[in-house]
Amino acid sequence: MNIKGGVIVLYCKTRWMTTYKSIDNILRVKAVLENMAANHSDLLTNDKIKPIICLWNFFNELKVLGFILNPLCKAVLALERREVDLSDCYLELAQISLAIKKLPRQVYSEFRNYCIEKINARFNEFDDNDYLLAFFLTLFSEMRIVKYAEVTAQKLGMDLTKAHTLCSHLLKYKNKESPFN
């Protein structure tokens, strides 16, 4: 088999990026792992690995976990940039929220609810008037937020009219117009 890339990254409890790379590596060598479990299980040094690999949903669940960890890893990288502010943090949390929203409710309801609980906890950490003021002042200094809000609103299921209304309200807030004056 022709597998490109480096070695499998070992799991490290507190590193999102390591976890994501480990999942990506496992998915990349899926065919090899399935072949080993089916035809060469004597090469597997841990007896617990074969039953896990043989589970019908193991690789699908890894894909789902990777789907959620991908925007999380991108957020970590974005927030490690030299020039970053609170608005970047809010925008990255919104991207993670969009990924969570895309999870099928029926199939992954427990995992989806867990993710929602965790992302809400992160949003609640910033539920402070000083943070919110800093966030809005920073956001409105750049007009890109209006376009981002429109795209995000559409991704959240709002029709174009509601998305424009949201953008209109944000601009009224910035300009201290009614009802935000």
DSSP for 54-105, please give it.
HSTTHHHHHHHHHHHHHHHHHHHHHHTSSS--HHHHHHHHHHHHHHHHTS-T
Residue 38 lies inside a defined structural domain of this protein: yes
176 lies in some domain: no
Residue 132 resides in a domain: no
Helix axes 109-125, 86-101, angle to 10 degrees: 170
Domain assignment present for 151: no
Asked if the structure places residue 44 within a domain, the reply is yes
Which domain does 15 fall in, by range?
A: 1-55
Averaged pLDDT, groups of 10, the chain, 181 residues long: 60 68 90 88 82 87 89 82 74 84 84 86 76 66 65 76 75 75 71
Task: Give the chain's domain count.
Answer: 1
Residues 99, 112 contacting (CB under 8 angstroms): no
CB 6 within 8 A of CB 37: no
Whole-model pTM over 0.75: no
Within a domain: residue 81? no
Q: Could you tell me if residue 94 is inside a domain? A: no
**Structural domain contains residue 40:** yes
